[in-house]
Structure 1
Amino acid sequence: MPRRTFLGSLSGPKVDVAIDMGNPFLNVAVDGFLKIGTVAATRAAAEDAYFIVKRGNISRHNFENTLKKMCREGAYWGTVAGVYAGMEYGAERIRGTRDWKNAMLGGALTGLLVSSACGHNKDRVVLDAITGGAIATAADFLNYLA
């Protein structure tokens, strides 16, 4: 059976905002917060817009709820991304090398911190740390392949 492949590239507009906090660690953390927070807020807006249009009920109440959800989701995921970016950068600086282990350490520490801050029990904190490390490592490997 013949195989078809796609030879080309897909790209969108690149928007890069740099905020200098005076410290490279803070610069990385704030950059992660802003980028992922924006994505999460946009996702929340698109999801709510879909359901509002589907129901055919556009009201001030729905609009206010959407804005609250956008802020909540953007702040949560932005914070997680900022913590991860900072942890990975810190691991890179401490270890003096740039490899997949930094992603693993950053993901594990982020999972541990976020889970602890949410008040989870000890077993859940450990599982969230393992999950964070695994996801970050897999993402780093996939990014390397792409």
Structure 2
Amino acid sequence: MPMSVFSGFLYFPHMHFDISLGNPFFKRTVEGFLKIGAVAASKVAVEETYDCLKKGQFSKATLDNALRKMCREGAYWGTTAGVYVGMEYGMESIRGTRDWKNAMLGGAMTGALISAAGGHGRDKVIADAITVAAIATAAELINNLA
């Protein structure tokens, strides 16, 4: 039976910002905003490019719409990430230790804050807090597997 093997390396770009704000809390929060905001804007750029290629047409209105979406998604994702990073760092400072519990608590507070700011009711705020806490905890545990 024929068999094929794929071998190689996959490299991801490394984004590094060095922002001096004089306070580690603000520095991490702004870095989180910029990094994740850039990811969201890139996601929208790829989606919009795909749509243009699929439709076979491109116009100034399409470009304007794509730029608006990029800014909106970048700001939303970046704000959420900035709040999370700030909350996690705050938990680390308060608790005096760096572990998965900071991610869980920071995620819960971020989920509740973003949901409450969106005008959701108490049950939805609690559900969102639990969801974001679970995602943040899972991400932290996965990052520490290596």
**Does TM, scored on the shorter chain, surpass 0.5?**
yes
CA deviation map 1:64-98 (0-9, x unaligned):
00000000000000000000000000000000000
CA deviation map 1:93-143 (0-9, x unaligned):
000000000000010000000000000011000000000100000011111
**Which of 58-67 and 11-20 deviates more?**
11-20
Mapped to 2, the partners of 1:13 and 1:57 lie a distance apart of 31
Mapped to 2, the partners of 1:8 and 1:23 lie a distance apart of 41
Shift of 1:9: 5.8
| Residue correspondences, number | 142
Query: Percent same amino acid at aligned positions?
Result: 60
Mapped to 2, the partners of 1:83 and 1:8 lie a distance apart of 37
9 and 101 in structure 1: CA distance in 2 versus 1, 3 angstrom threshold: farther
Aligned partner of 2:20 in structure 1 is 20
26 and 102 in structure 1: CA distance in 2 versus 1, 3 angstrom threshold: same
Matches within 5 A, 1:35-50: 35-50=35-50
Mapped to 2, the partners of 1:22 and 1:54 lie a distance apart of 47
Aligned partner of 1:72 in structure 2 is 72
Shift of 1:11: 2.8
Unaligned runs of 5+ in 2: 1-5
Amino acid at match of 2:114: V
Q: CA RMSD in A?
A: 1.7
Aligned partner of 1:142 in structure 2 is 142
Matches within 5 A, 1:38-117: 38-117=38-117
8 and 87 in structure 1: CA distance in 2 versus 1, 3 angstrom threshold: farther
Amino acid at match of 1:82: G
Q: Where does structure 1 differ by over 3 angstroms across 4 or more consecutive aligned residues? A: 6-10
Amino acid at match of 1:53: L
Mapped to 2, the partners of 1:10 and 1:89 lie a distance apart of 31
Shift of 1:13: 3.0
Shift of 1:33: 0.2
Amino acid at match of 2:86: G
Aligned partner of 1:3 in structure 2 is none
